[in-house]
Homo-oligomer: A and B are copies of this chain.
Amino acid sequence: MKTVLLVHAHPDPHSLTAQLATAARAELRAQGHEVIQSDLYALGWKAVYDEHDFPDRLDRERLSFVAESGHAFGTGAQPDDVRAEQAKLLAADAVVFQFPLWWFGMPAIMKGWIERLFAFGLAYGWRGAGNRYRYGEGGLAGKRALLSVTAGGPAADYGPRAINGPLDDLLFPITHGTLFFAGMEVLPTYAVYGTGHIDAGGVDAAKAGLAARMRTLFDDAPVPYRPQNGGDYPDRHVLADDVAPGVAGLRAHLR
Contact = CB atoms under 8 A, between A and B. Distances in A.
Given A131-B153, A237-B154, A103 B161 contact: no
B173 A12 contact: no
A73 interface: no
A83 interface: no
A108 B115 CA distance: 8
Determine which residue in A51, A153, A237 has the highest number of CB atoms from chain B within 10 A of its CB, and name it: A237
Contact of A238 (B161, B237, B249): B161
Contact of A156 (B107, B152, B162, B237): B237
Interface in A12-46: 12, 14-15, 41, 45
Interface stretch (A91-99, A138-146, A163-171, A199-207): A163-171
A219 interface: no
B249 A166 contact: yes
Nearest to A41: B50
A221 interface: no
A156 B49 CA distance: 27
Interface in A132-160: 135, 152-154, 156-157, 159-160
Interface in A56-113: 61-63, 65-66, 100, 102-109, 111-112
A124 to B, nearest CB: 9
A131 to B, nearest CB: 7
A223 interface: no
A120 to B, nearest CB: 10
B103 A173 contact: yes
Nearest to A118: B103
Nearest to A233: B163
A2 interface: no
A49 B40 CA distance: 12
Contacts of A160: 248-249
Determine which residue in A108, A114, A163, A228 has the highest number of CB atoms from chain B within 10 A of its CB, and name it: A163
Contacts of A233: 163
Interface of A: 10-12, 14-15, 41, 45, 47-51, 61-63, 65-66, 100, 102-109, 111-112, 114-115, 118, 131, 135, 152-154, 156-157, 159-166, 169-170, 172-174, 176-178, 196, 228, 233, 235-239, 244, 247-253
